[in-house]
Amino acid sequence: MLYNFLENLNFRAWIWVIPLMLFLHEMEEWNILKWYHSTYNPPPKSTNLSCRIWLFIMSIWGFAVTALAYCIPNKYISSGIILFLVVFTTFNGLQHIYWLFAFKKYAPGVIFSSLGIIAGVLLSASALIKEITSPIYIIILYTITIPFLIATIHAKNKCIGTFNYLHNLTLKIVKVLEK
């Protein structure tokens, strides 16, 4: 029954579920700065505005990547692009699930990132069943995330370097906007 569902799934229509879940995930993180301050030692130097700018940038990026995948007529290239987004959102979702258990408290974003993981797994399985992607491509994408997941676990209650860079970048954006 699931196989039939995945085989008949309108892949081009369902790709829009991924940026929608990403947007809802980002909105679930609207007040994540409080979580950073109660969890990370030291917390990132972000402000509410810089965090929210990042949330909007990520949401727009998710829809832009999906629009690109949707507009490309070649189904193999299109699926390759959207599966990149799926793996990216899955990685972040796994981080939130880890934080939920590691810190034994709600990690903002965990609800919609978990739903996004489910949507991404279904979309990935559909792409494999429809033979519009290679299992090797999916394995490579997920393998790339392993060092970042390991860094998240090793960081414990500290922000990993990549995310610190992003927090500092959005602080620079805020400075430019405030001029």
User: If you average pLDDT over residues 35-52, what whole number do you get?
Assistant: 94
Written as one string, the DSSP assignment of 93-121 is HHHHHHHHHHTTS--TTHHHHHHHHHHHH
Q: pTM, whole model, 2 decimals? A: 0.94
Phi, psi for 31 (deg, rounded to 5): -110, 35
User: If you average pLDDT over residues 142-164, what whole number do you get?
Assistant: 92
| Sequence-ordered list of residues with C-beta below 8 angstroms from that of 75, at least 6 positions apart, any chain | 11, 132
Q: Where in the sequence is the domain holding 8, given as residue range(s)?
A: 2-178
Inter-residue contact 10 to 54 (CB < 8 Å): no
d(CA 119, CA 19): 11
73-108 confidence digits (pLDDT tens): 999 999 999 999 999 999 999 999 999 999 999 999
User: If you average pLDDT over residues 9-25, what whole number do you get?
Assistant: 97
User: If you average pLDDT over residues 42-64, what whole number do you get?
Assistant: 95
What pLDDT does 161 receive? 82
The total number of structural domains in the chain stands at 1
What pLDDT does 179 receive? 82
Radius of gyration over every alpha carbon of the chain, rounded to an integer in angstroms: 17
What pLDDT does 75 receive? 96
The structure tokens 């109660």 sit at: 38
What pLDDT does 178 receive? 87
CA-based end-to-end distance of the chain: 58
99-152 confidence digits (pLDDT tens): 999 999 999 999 999 999 999 999 999 999 999 999 999 999 999 999 999 999
| Sequence-ordered list of residues with C-beta below 8 angstroms from that of 131, at least 6 positions apart, any chain | none
What pLDDT does 177 receive? 87
CA dihedral sign of residues 84, 90, 96, 102 = negative
Share of the chain above pLDDT 90, in %: 91
What does the block give as tokens for 20?
A: 């929608």
